[in-house]
Amino acid sequence: MTGQTFDLDAVLRPRLPSPLQPVADERFDRYGVRLLLKRDDLIHPDLPGNKWRKLVPNLRAAAGRTVLTFGGAYSNHLRATASAGRLLGFPTIGVVRGDELATRPLNPSLRRCADDGMRLLFTDRATYRAKDDPAVLARILRDAGTGTAAGLRSDDVYVVPEGGSNAAAAHGCRELGRELRDLDEDIDVVAVACGTGGTLAGLAAGLGADQRAIGFPVLRGGFLGDAIRALQTAAFGGPAGDWSLDDRFHFGGYARTSPGLDAFAGDFEERHGLPMERVYVAKALYGLSVLAAEGAFPSGTTVAAVVTGQENRSAQASSR
Ligand SMILES: *Cc1c(COP(=O)(O)O)cnc(C)c1O
């Protein structure tokens, strides 16, 4: 067991609370809606945004053990986990969806993971889908152990679910809600893009009684409400906070886009000098602008949009 995890904050040095930045944008001003950006992308250069908030409580629990986690070929979560392993000096294993990737050159995102010392295990899609089944997980751990000098015992490994979303992560993201609650100015609505929903589950739990959260799923499917309720039950003992989902802005699915969304994101970048992450953040802000135009917010409403991550050129390439 290593001691360095106790210095986790000192090594990772987060910028918290993350800055809150007003932006003047006529797509909101026109309707009397004040828009603020909650700059979680500035929390840490290598573990940006919600990835820091979700991972750090898990790294504390892992206490220096090997961390094994899951992700797709362009997963921000895998990259953040690999960076944390390098910075803090614990071993990481990434189980990557798609065994066909094993025989191809690594894409830039996986290259970074490998350069940070993450061992990559490429898994066929059926196994990947079934990874929450204890028997399947046991098999993955067994395979992870072969090829290591001493093998791997499951007690030596701390497993973080896909996207990093579990009860510990929801607790970490509750701090995001609390930062937005404990302010001099009143924020009425908080908007966030959702992948697995862990961020929204925690955020909503940390907000004040007169605040609400809107989640914009970037995946198709409409399964997210149940997942968020389950996470909140695991983390907080039951449903927490006032939250809802708007399922209209996934643009066909993960990393899918449209000319309209690209134009919106490019325009926002130009006006506000802020590189806009395309897989998640752009969809949430686009959705928010449509809601404003639909009259969803009474004049005088203050909305904070969470900038959950940084633009990442290698992920963007995947949507092309
Ligand atoms: C991972 C990620 C999300 C999704 O967070 P969930 O907790 O899985 O809903 C949102 N935005 C960015 C930039 C991300 O990297």
Interval 272-313: pLDDT, tens:
999 999 999 999 999 999 999 999 999 999 999 999 998 865
Q: Is 18 in the pocket of ligand 1 (CB under 6 A)?
A: no
Interval 38-84: pLDDT, tens:
999 999 999 988 999 999 999 999 999 999 999 999 999 999 999 99
Distance between CA atoms of residues 269 and 266, nearest Å: 5
Ligand 1: which of 54, 194, 308 to mutate, most ligand atoms within 8 Å of CB? 308
Percent of the chain with pLDDT over 90: 84
Interval 100-136: pLDDT, tens:
999 999 999 999 999 999 999 999 999 999 999 999 9
Query: 280 CA distance to ligand 1 centroid (A)?
Result: 7
pLDDT of residue 110: 97
Distance between CA atoms of residues 245 and 217, nearest Å: 7
Contact (CB, 8 A) for 199 and 53: yes
Interval 172-197: pLDDT, tens:
999 999 999 999 889 999 999 999 99
Distance between CA atoms of residues 92 and 11, nearest Å: 17
Domains of the chain: 8-45+166-318 (3.40.50.1100), 64-164 (3.40.50.1100)
Query: 76 CA distance to ligand 1 centroid (A)?
Result: 8
Q: For residue 76, which atom of ligand 1 is closest to its CA?
A: 15
| CA distances from residue 110 to 31, 97, 101, 241, 311 in whole angstroms, order as listed | 43, 12, 10, 36, 16
Distance between CA atoms of residues 27 and 22, nearest Å: 14
Q: Answer yes or no: pTM beyond 0.75.
A: yes
Higher pLDDT, 270 or 221: 270
pLDDT of residue 148: 61
* 215 bridge partner residues: 192, 245
Q: Is 199 in the pocket of ligand 1 (CB under 6 A)?
A: yes
Interval 218-245: pLDDT, tens:
999 888 999 999 999 999 999 999 999 9
